[in-house]
């Protein structure tokens, strides 16, 4: 229960002022569907939960570092980014990468994109690039919630953690 309370607290802050909060469900055809316009199920340990990057008077700048077949590489790059920038939130996505997130009052998607480019400009990115889709209209970013593809929980990370520790914790949080 303690983990569930912690998830609730983390998500209250991350979701605050979001233009839209969305939960994922499985459609009749077995494909993922999103609950736009409906009240989402706020059970992040059971239901994938997202928010739009646009908010009330702010935009999220999301450094989304994914590496499909080399999570260790993505973690090395994310740790370098954390060395040069103090993100508002730094988290494991629950799948193939990491998110560094800042809240930018008064910013739009272009401002968020420039913010991310500036953070990444002086870091050895090992050939990885932040996901540019994070700045598209109605883009969603996963909250601290379960990832149905992997059954890992999206969780906060600290620079001093090992990847093994992050993966162990991400399974513990979702009760696996």
Domains of the chain: 2-173 (3.90.920.10)
Q: What's residue 38's pLDDT?
A: 61
Q: What is the C-alpha separation between 49 and 20, in angstroms, rounded?
A: 11
Q: What is the pLDDT of residue 131?
A: 92
Mean pLDDT of the chain: 88
CB 51 within 8 A of CB 34: no
Distance CA 96, CA 104 (A): 25
Q: What pLDDT, on the 0 to 100 scale, is given for residue 30? A: 83
Q: Provide the pLDDT confidence category of residue 158 given band limits of 50, 70 and 90.
A: very high
Q: How confident is the model at residue 176 (pLDDT cuts 50, 70, 90)?
A: very low
Over the stretch 89-121, which tens digit does the pLDDT of each residue have? 999 999 999 999 999 999 999 999 999 999 999
pTM: 0.88
Query: What gap in Å lies between CA 113 and CA 71, rounded to an integer?
Result: 23
Using one digit for the tens of pLDDT, what is the confidence trace for 137-146? Answer: 878 999 998 8
- In 3D space, the residue among 97, 170, 84, 167 whose CA is nearest the CA of residue 133 turns out to be 97
**What whole-number distance in Å separates Cα of residue 162 and Cα of residue 170?**
12
Count CA within 13 A, CB hemisphere, residue 162: 3
Q: Give the pLDDT score at 2.
A: 59
Note the pLDDT tens digit of each residue in 22-77.
888 888 888 878 887 666 666 777 788 889 999 999 999 999 999 988 999 999 99
């Amino acid at each position: 229960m303690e983990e569930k309370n912690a998830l609730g607290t983390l998500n209250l802050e991350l979701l605050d002022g979001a233009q839209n909060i969305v939960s994922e469900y499985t459609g009749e055809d077995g494909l993922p569907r999103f609950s736009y316009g409906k009240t989402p199920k706020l059970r992040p340990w059971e239901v994938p939960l997202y928010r739009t990057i646009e908010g009330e008077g702010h935009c999220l700048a999301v450094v989304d570092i994914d590496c499909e077949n080399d999570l260790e590489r993505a973690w090395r790059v994310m740790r370098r980014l954390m060395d040069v920038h103090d993100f508002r939130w730094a988290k494991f996505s629950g799948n193939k990468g990491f998110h560094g997130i800042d809240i930018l009052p008064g910013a739009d998607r272009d401002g968020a994109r420039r913010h991310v480019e500036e953070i990444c400009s002086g870091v050895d990115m090992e050939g990885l690039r932040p996901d540019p889709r994070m700045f598209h209209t109605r883009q969603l970013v996963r909250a601290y919630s379960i990832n149905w593809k992997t059954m890992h929980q999206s969780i906060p990370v600290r620079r001093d953690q090992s990847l093994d520790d992050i993966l162990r914790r991400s399974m513990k949080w979702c009760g696996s």
